[in-house]
Amino acid sequence: MTNTTHLTRLRTRMLATAYSNADFWARRWAFLTDQAVGTLARRDPAAAEALAASLLTSRFRE
């Protein structure tokens, strides 16, 4: 995914998790988090981009 924003990468990853994970709660939280980030992006694109960048580089991925 070259030349894309952090927000696009994060939302793609969350939706891929939502649709490929067999665990009900993992699917649910990935979908709900994607919806929340999408809403933030409509209200404040810069804040959403900053949030996505911090989530993609955070230690939570480890």
Distance of alpha carbon 51 from its chain centroid, rounded? 9
Give dist(CA 61, CA 44) in Å, integer. 25
Residue 43 has what pLDDT? 94
Q: Please report the pLDDT score of residue 23 as a whole number.
A: 83
Q: Which residue has the tokens 């996505």?
A: 52
For position 27, what pLDDT does the model report? Answer: 83
Distance CA 46, CA 27 (A): 27
Please report the pLDDT score of residue 60 as a whole number.
Answer: 57
Q: How confident is the model at residue 1 (pLDDT cuts 50, 70, 90)?
A: very low
CB-CB neighbours of 6 under 10 Å: 17
Q: 13-60 pLDDT, tens per residue? A: 888 887 887 788 888 888 888 888 889 999 998 998 988 888 888 765
What does the pLDDT read at residue 14?
Answer: 84
